[in-house]
Amino acid sequence: MLTEGVSLIDSRSDRVVMEPNATYWNPARKPTVRIVYDNVIGKDAGIKSVASGDGRVDVVFDLTPAEAKAFPQSDKGKIQTKKAKTILTGVFNENKPDSVWRDPAVRRAFNLAIDRQFVLDQGAHGYGTVIPAFIQPGRYGADPGMSPLPHDPEAARAGLEKAGLGGREIVIVASPSWQGVVEAIGQCLSKIGLSARFVSDRGDLPEDFDLKLEWYFDWTPQYPVACVHREFFGRDATLRQGPEDPEFDALYEKLLHTPEERTEEVVREVERYIQDRSKALFLYSPFTLFAVSDRVAFTPYDTCMSELAETRIKG
Amino acid sequence: MDAQATGDPGGGQPWGPHNTVTVVDPSPVNWLSITWNTMEEANRVDHDGIGQPSLAESWTWLDRETLELKMRGAVYQDGEPFNAAMFKLGFDKVQEWTNPHPPGAFLNFARDVTCEAVDERTIRMRFPGGDSAALMKLRGMHLPSTRFWNEWGFIDPKTGSAEGHW
């Protein structure tokens, strides 16, 4: 239960403190420790604290791949990874009516230019899993018959040249956390005569960008299309960079009115639809990365939420 | 929010470094993590990403429009019992607002959805036309105590509204 501080969408107290509820009904999730969210110390100092074992910080959430890679050898703390329900994907800029990216064949050609495993290894130190579309293999709604789009530079070159993109510099807007990924995409493009330019995402998009990289996560109980796919392609999507897609909206409506025991097949249909139409640049599912003190047994969540009921102090 | 405000009965163990875990969470959705650490819903999602019962111990679709949930016996930290009436109160509260959920309207129950506390433990919800997203929506329908509703109720003190503030 919350005993000090608040965390709102637009503000946080310096400290937020939660203490165990002594009467909680579920012994498996009954916390044994007080949790203090330190909202002052900052991420860099928090990571250093975990590595040094100075006792100020036990867990730091949401490390970037570069921060995880740079974590020093330490007998006081370590990097913990979680194959969470996440995606890193590129949203094509289809805002202008004459955008080449409105053509599924051009979007597919761009996808074929990318060696996803190379991008993951080179751009994110391997912290992730290449996935076919938006759902990880083995998860609810993943289609066992789907594979990631192939890396086919010659087909990519032909398709992009046909669209008038030969030799073009592709402008990619992304968080600084994903600059390495953009650079790795640029290396893939250089093999077919194109290049990539990284533009740091500061909230105001430049008018003429080609792609925007978006990280996103699924917190739902087996309902990924509402949380993730809809957010990119739906009528009320906040991440869509182009016109509405009535075919997607019809699939979503179909899902909403399908009895629960048959929804998984519709989720697979959505996955096939977005891959067939190359609705995005499909990349990979990033691991969530944590710096964790050795004195703590930390249980991360696939939802990316910092739920801490099971987190314990060792011994 | 002070300890009394949450219904903390007080008198617990002394806190110190030996039983305190300090975390740094820069996530922009930290507010949601705090909510899910301190509130409870009919269902939840476990650390492997799988839906699980929580304050509802089970549920069944009686037909394609009718969801019946069985609530477990539980007690809020201020001693108030949780029961089907508290679920119904949570539903009525969220339905007072047009768009209460920060992530968006996709979490809203349709205006014609109804909720009935059949007995102390049983809730029956009707979704005209069906809604396969019902359990996802229930994950976002928090079920706090009467005291929470009376003293806060997700109202933003700056605006006096709970729109986008659940």
Instruction: Encode pLDDT of B69-126 as tens digits.
Output: 999 999 998 999 999 999 999 999 999 999 999 999 999 999 999 999 999 999 999 9
Residue B75, judged by CB atoms within 10 A of its CB (0-12, 13-18, 19+), counts as middle
Q: Is there a contact between B26 and A43 if contact means CB atoms under 8 Å apart?
A: yes
Residue B1 has pLDDT above 60, yes or no: no
Counting residues of chain A whose pLDDT is more than 90, the rounded percentage is: 94
Looking at chain B, the whole-number percentage of residues with pLDDT higher than 70 is 93
Nearest to B133 among A56, A256, A307 (CB): A256
* Structure confidence by residue, pLDDT tens digits, A20-71: 988 899 999 999 999 999 999 999 999 999 999 999 999 999 999 999 999 9
Give contacts of B6 with chain A, Cβ < 8 Å. Answer: 1-3
Question: What DSSP assignment string belongs to B3-61?
Answer: TGGGT-----PPP-GGGEEEEE---TTHHHHHHHHH---SEEE-TTS-EEESSEEEEEE
SS3 A107: helix
Residue A62 dihedral angles phi and psi, to the nearest 5°: 60, 45
DSSP state of B108: P
Question: In 3D, which of A44, A88, A86, A85 has the Cα closest to residue A67?
Answer: A44
B129 near B26, Cβ under 8 Å? no
**Distance of alpha carbon A134 from the chain centroid:** 10
Tens of pLDDT along B39-76?
999 999 999 999 999 999 999 999 999 999 999 999 99
pLDDT > 70 fraction of chain A, expressed in percent and rounded: 100
Secondary structure (3-state) at A5: coil
Local structure of residue B156 (DSSP, 8 states): B
pLDDT band at B15 (very low <50, low <70, confident <90, very high): confident
Name the helix (H) or strand (E) containing A171.
Answer: strand A169-174
Q: Please give the structure tokens belonging to residue A189.
A: 């493009």
Collapsed DSSP state (helix, strand, coil) of residue A33: coil
Spatial CA neighbour of A48 closest among A77, A69, A80: A77
B27/A62 CB distance under 8 A: yes
CB contact under 8 A, A12 and B30: yes
Structure tokens at A68: 């995880």
Residue type (1 letter), A151: H
- Model confidence at B10, pLDDT cuts 50, 70, 90, reads low
Average pLDDT over all residues of chain A: 96
Say which amino acid occupies A192.
Answer: I
Q: Using a CB-CB distance cutoff of 8 angstroms, which residues of chain B are in contact with residue A39?
A: 24
CB contact under 8 A, A57 and B73: no
pLDDT above 80: residue B141:
yes
pLDDT tens-digit map of A219-268: 999 999 999 999 999 999 999 999 999 999 999 999 999 999 999 999 99
User: Measuring CA to CA, which residue among B117, B99, B96, B120 is closest to residue B108?
Assistant: B99
Q: Collect all residues of chain A within an 8 Å Cβ-Cβ radius of residue B19.
A: 32-34, 313
Residue in B2, B38, B43 nearest the CB of A18: B38
Phi/psi region, residue A213 (left: phi>0; alpha: psi -120 to 50; beta: rest), is beta
Pair A61, B24: CB distance under 8 Å: yes
Measure the CA dihedral A24/A29/A30/A31, to 10°. Answer: -130
Question: How far apart, in Å, do the first and last CA atoms of chain A sit?
Answer: 24
The Cα A52–Cα A64 span in angstroms is: 19
User: Scanning the structure block, which residue is given the tokens 């002052």?
Assistant: A40
B165 neighbourhood in chain A, CB within 8 Å = 9
Reading the block at residue A59, the tokens are 């867990």
Q: Is any Cβ of chain A less than 8 angstroms from the Cβ of B20?
A: yes
CB–CB contact B47 A307 (8 Å): yes
- Residue A7 pLDDT > 60: yes
Give the Cβ contact number of residue A237 at 10 Å: 20
